[in-house]
Amino acid sequence: MSTIPFLNFDPMHKMIRDEIMRSFADVYDANWFIMGKKLEAFEKEYAAFNDTKFAIGVSNGLDALHLALKALNVTKGDEVIVPSNTYIATALAASYVGATPVFVEPNARTYNMDPANIEAAITSRTKVIMPVHLYGQACEMDAIMAIAKKHNLFVVEDNAQAHGATFNGKITGSFGHANGTSFYPGKNLGALGDGGALTTNDADIAKKIMMLRNYGSEKKYHNESIGFNMRLDEVQAAFLSVKLKHLNEWTKQRKVIAHQYNDALKNVGDLILPEVHKDATHVYHLYVIKTKNRDKLQKHLSDNGIGTLIHYPIPPHLQKAYASLKKKKGDYPIAEELAENCLSLPIWPGMTQEHVKTVADAIKKAF
């Protein structure tokens, strides 16, 4: 039986193994492991890639969002608008600073935050809009930024899944006032452990984040604020510098695979395939299909040696962690419908057309 895992690092990691080992040796031989030249180099490289003046490496994606809100002085009593369809980390970042996450429904076709639903959620306590470029597709950022400007709000992009995606030609992670991203190993740009970064064009925000990630200190043993230990280490920064050089090629491969799926799965059963907004690009961190037969299809694929995942089976508003918000089933029907019917298919650099055909044939057989 053919075995196609949901995610396979082997093809891309074998290709860059020598580069990765050399980068590790550089760090090892330098005997400098925290806040050194490798981090400084990666931050410059990632800022250039992301078309921002500043990139600040931190410990992970959730910490990046947390620090972004902290740097914008979001605090207890404030509200942060987040998508109802997202990983819980987006909401957790608001909770970490004492703010309340306020959920808004996604566009039922793109699955991203729907600008048409944002203004109804704005109150006198709203301070931030936090769009998530979900699955790798850019949100409708022009409309979101216009709403934020109209209501004098900050925008913090959650760019964890969309390295390199664009809206109207502008790259994600360059719209907001302070934006967080993740380098979790499974991301399109993944470290070999945890990692994250913030991007911004504001020098004052960048300076504040740089201090906050390092105990609130700009100069050793001189602490200007209550800070955190949320730094990206030298080894992960070195690895990310290597991987960043290959990211555009890996993104091209993901797009090819997605287009092959689109062609192979068109008009199959009740499948709804990913839809891309006319002004957005999609880097396919995930290839997500929707079907009323999701659970049966997942079992069928598993029985045929094909790995899949469900992103995300329980929306944040129905998680026990947010029981205090007193939300109930039915409050956010679009997010709930996506949670019940979405399935992520295998997609990874190095996946062949034969792999795609095997997955598609198995899906067709299920229907």
Please, where are the H alpha helices in the chain? 10-15, 17-30, 37-49, 61-71, 89-96, 141-150, 203-212, 234-244, 247-265, 294-303, 333-341, 353-366
Q: Please state, in angstroms and rounded to a whole number, the distance separating the CA atoms of residues 7 and 28.
A: 29
Q: Which residues pair with 5 in a beta bridge?
A: none
Reply yes or no on whether the pLDDT at 2 is more than 80.
no
| Run of H or E residues at 135 | none
- Percentage of the chain exceeding pLDDT 90: 99
pLDDT tens for 208-219 read: 999 999 999 999
Lowest mean pLDDT segment, chosen from 1-5, 231-235, 355-359: 1-5
Neighbours of 260 (CB within 10 A): 20
Output the average pLDDT for the chain.
Answer: 98
Confidence of residue 1 (pLDDT cuts 50, 70, 90): low
Structure confidence by residue, pLDDT tens digits, 287-318: 999 999 999 999 999 999 999 999 999 999 99
pTM: 0.97
Q: What is the pLDDT of residue 62?
A: 98
Beta strand pairing call for 217-219 and 222-223: antiparallel
Q: Is the pLDDT of residue 35 over 80?
A: yes
Task: Write the pLDDT tens digit of every residue in 217-227.
Answer: 999 999 999 99
